Chain A
Amino acid sequence: MKREPPQSIADYGPLFFPAGMLLIFFVVPFGTMIAVSFFQRQEGGFYTPAFVFSNYERFLTAFFGGVLGFSLMLAVTVAICCVVLALPFTYLLSRLTRRLQVIWLVGLLSVLSLSEVIIGFAWSTLLSRTAGLSNLLVKIGLLEQPVALFPSFGAVLTGMVYQALPYTILVLYPAIVRLDPTLMEAARTLGSSPIRAFFNVLVPALRNTIMATLIMVFIFALGSYLLPQILGRPQHWTLSVLITDQAIYQSNMPFAAAMAVFLVLVTLGLVALTLLIGRKGEKA
């Protein structure tokens, strides 16, 4: 079937609905946020429309730079952990029978039905001194006495990876299932070990998918604000936690908006950079 390029405005019709939705639910709110980020904060009150840079000035300090840096580092770590875990898992999953695959996928989807609050509290119980996993280790004799494994960076990372892993698998799954099985067979016939074939054939063949998945998980993890609060110490709080504090508890909308705009810009910048590097790599 040959695709005709659109001739009249009516041919663009199907695009109007998504474009409208994007306008109403993304462009307008984001525009409002940018506008508010320049408003004048009224201490002890709300804000008045103005055009000032003081909200951005307040953000540009070593303190907030550190928090931003930690948030980005945390999101990158979560993304890498998720992909490293999900890639072999999804590959093995794709080689199971249809029936087993469905059971696994339903199980993974059910994790998505858990709210962040439930995930946070469940992990805080699992990692607690009084009722947590370390009690099992004591029973087996590996530990002298139970220890608290939270709040800590490891706990935050564990909670966030747990939350993002189902998404990662669901994004990787279609690409891996569609992958030509003869590629791996050829590698095997040519004498490659299964692990070698996995790294030398499967991973390069899926390079774009892996990149896209990393970016998706990174952005997903960047917005997390509940798990770092429940499972981490204050030094593990992400920028999103501080944005929430400003918006909800300090009613300082202009400063919260400025931080959010900054976070979005940095994120977009990093994504663009990643894509650029990826494209250069392809050309080479």
Chain B
Amino acid sequence: MINFNLFVLPFFLGLIYVVIAIGKSWYRWVRKLPAIDKVRFISGIRSPGQIFGALKEVFLEGLIHRRMWKQNPLLGYMHMSFALGWFLLIVFGNIESRFYSGTHLNAPYYPIFLKFFIHDRLVIFFEVFSVPGIFRFLMDFLLLFVLSGLVLALIKRQKSNWFGMKRTTAFQLTDIVSLGSLWLIFPMRLLAESYTAGYYGSGGGFLTQPLGNLLVWIVPFRDDFVAYGLWWGYSLVLGIFFITLPYSRYMHIPTEILLIFFRHFGIQPGKWYSSFSDVEVQACSRCGVCIDVCQLNEAGIHDSQAVYFIRGVRDKYVPEEISRKCLVCGRCQEACPVGISTDSLRLIKRRELVSGQASDFSYLAPRPGAASRFDEPPRQGEVAYFAGCMSHLTPSIIRAMKGIMEHAGVSFTHLDADKSICCGRPLKLAGKDRQANELIEFNKKLIRLTGAKTLVTSCPICYRVFREEYNIPIRIQHHTQFILDLVKTGKISFEGDYKKVAYHDPCDLGRGSGVYEAPRDLIGHFAISVPVSQEANKALCCGGSLGMFEASQGQRNTMTAGVLNILLQAQPDVLATACPLCKKTLEKQSPVAVKDIAELVYESLPKTVCCSVSGQSHPAKSYEDELISV
């Protein structure tokens, strides 16, 4: 018997088409990689370890949808039932078909339409003690598993708020066709298999046999014409899904697989738009998880969230202001189930926009005969302290840091005591990397002059760029890490009054640099941390972000009010933060005091050794110096 029928053609041709289309895209993306990344790719596919790691992640993310589960269990189950369910149907279907065909090579359509070609009359309904019986049971069970996900998907379309999603993305025409055919695949399979089982009176499992018997009973005429119609329908929806897939959002499925391999081979987003960026853009599933986590919603901005921005990039048209209308806080990147580097993509577009603009920092060049632009070269010291521009607007942080270092007996030099050169990150956030690099060179020279072993900064914005871009052979610490080290080595101790403190994670320190624990450990030494409902990697941006260019002060204030609501839920006595910009932004509206951790530490130092906060004796002088210089 030849196992072929005309109705397999839509499926078979669709399958050939989609395999070629995906293969072509993958090949194009790999070929267009920058040379260095191509080398990484080639050495990656030769390394079994990296391949295994990538396959493991493909399994965990592509089939189980682990990140989605963490984000939202209901959505996680929905995606898992579709992906894992379908995958297992294919795997078990293939094994089952081998059992009947007895050969190693089957036509690709044979397992898919197995129940049409084979009516195993020996298998009786709900038989699980024979090999075919177990397969029959498994296949029905998996079909039910997929269908349960489909029911969830249908509910989600109508009532997305039941899934905890406030907003979701709109569809384009190909998406609707593709989604419609995807949704029809499994009900059609159920109907076709069931009717066939009912028609022959045997061969179905616990789901298909009773349903088939029912169908045969309901349908007034008993004819194999009905069965053919159902199998044709099943094949057609499969074919339509496959043919529309490369042009719809479902292209994200094969693209994400390639993206996972790229990441495991050590390929990272570059400074400019590359093939890797293209893969990231295409791997976006438009799920819209990034919309709900974005704080711009609160400010009434609804056109610039990551998914819309990426849509613009994909369609090769991003309105200029959309690129600049973003806090670059990294919340969307943290929430993205595909792990797309949304911030990097945004900065790439900003770079493209300003590539024609020049800068002139010649005024920073050393004066003739001097080592630096400054009248006096920086003092030598084991620690170089860089307060950062923002800290100059909050001199209490600088005063506290100086007091702490003097108390601990650390010999330090204050790099920007008088005139500060910006660290360069604000320029980078504007896309002006070339210009930022000029500032970086000036600062590096200054840092080198101090001969310090540790560079301490009070500003997370500076901290991030020091770590990521400076490439200096010197220890770089944010002041929370530095003070924690002082505590651990016993150089400072506390007379804590154990106030209730709520800690606000600065974006560039937390998500940007991964420093979550040092500030919390430090607070634990002299105060009681109260929980904040959105903290650590889920922390909110204070609203003052330097990454944002297109928000009005009013919109920023709205976002700040939202953050304060969250921070004040547990009614803390003090709000602590570790960033001068966050402090400056939050204290404009906060009903309770907003203090940098350095200030809290300074206040909690033993009073016998150091002055009390109100009656400053020694550090008061440096504070005045500070005011004069600021």
Asked if A pairs with B, the answer is no
Q: Which residues of B contact A (CB under 8 A)?
A: none
